[in-house]
Structure 1
Amino acid sequence: MAEYSFQVRWGDTDAAGIVFYPNFYKWMDEATHEYLSALGFPSSKLYAEQQIGVPLLEANCIFKCPLFFEDSVVVQSTVEELQNKVFKLRHAFIRGEQIVAEGYELRAWTSFEGKPKALPVPEDIRKKMMPKTHQSMKR
């Protein structure tokens, strides 16, 4: 699990002072890149050195209660599914002790050398994404 913290800015809200919903998708994207950095594989480095990116295939978010200007939020991100070339990252938006929204992103491990092509997630990254699964598979 990785955590991404931020404070809601005035520009993130609508006329009623409530966070405008597309911002949750922006924050999930930011949290994904923070997650990869926490694993030791920053997106910028992956692309610069290997022409690897993780394009978005699908996203969804369920809103449980509103966020407001200056709310402090933590996004907890965990890999929920790890397939050969695709992974599903679950994001929980937490204000204090309360989950205010939950969402996920489905992303593909993709080479951008020439025409984009999905590739298998490398084993060293798989081990960091799902350490418990790999430990139990070794037994």
Structure 2
Amino acid sequence: MHTEYRTKRKIEFADTDMAGIVHFSRFFVFMEAAEHEFLRSLGTSVATEWDGNKIGWPRLTASCEYLSPLRFEDEVDIRLWISKKGTKSLTYQFHFTHEGKDIARGQLITVCCIINPGKKMRAIPIPEFITSQIVTQ
């Protein structure tokens, strides 16, 4: 059972803005990348097949609170955990730190959906092969 996932990321020049700090939008990219790594660690993917259907995780909400800047070549520690496991949704929390200092906090709420080409997307209960591996905090 997984309660949290941790990863690191080196800040690249392309992540920064004119002021030389990480552009606010990049934190959403970092959260999504951490989510994808987490799902792969469970043996699945953000886009997988199950019961003859393609399953994906569209976002219902995404937010980020910025506490301190990051700069080019900083290494940021990213901690992800699931704070709520609904029947059809997962709520992820993110905590970004650099050298022990709080940098940002984020949240993603994702919904498990069948996404088949040419058909309307629809929310479904999260399959057991995923929920059985997740513990909320």
Q: Shared fold by TM > 0.5?
A: yes
1:1-139 pair list within 5 angstroms: 1-44=4-47, 46-47=48-49, 50-113=53-116, 114-130=119-135
- Whose RCO is larger (CA < 8 A, sep 6+)? 2
Q: Which amino acid aligns with 1:98?
A: K
Output one character per residue of 1:10-69: Cα deviation in whole Å (capped at 9) or x when no partner. Answer: 11111111111000011111111111111111234x159741000111011111100000
For 2:53 and 2:5, the matched residues in 1 are separated by: 23
Following TM superposition, where does structure 1 have runs of at least 4 consecutive aligned residues deviating by more than 6 angstroms?
A: none
Which structure: greater helix fraction? 1
Matched residues, percent identical? 28
SS at match of 2:133: helix
Report the CA distance shift for 1:131/1:87 in structure 2 as closer, same or farther (over 3 A).
Answer: closer
CA distance in 2 between partners of 1:131 and 1:75 (Å) = 17
Aligned-pair CA distance for 1:102: 0.6
Q: Which has the higher strand share?
A: 2
TM-score by length of 2: 0.88
- Could you tell me whether the CA contact under 8 Å between 2:81 and 2:136 is conserved in 1? no
Amino acid of the residue matched to residue 18 of structure 1?
I
Instruction: Point out where structure 2 has 5 or more consecutive residues left out of the alignment.
Output: none
Q: How many residue pairs align between the two structures?
A: 131
Structure 1 residues not aligned, in runs of 5+: 133-139
CA–CA distance in structure 2, aligned partners of residues 95 and 50 of structure 1: 40
- Which segment is superposed worse, 64-73 or 46-55? 46-55
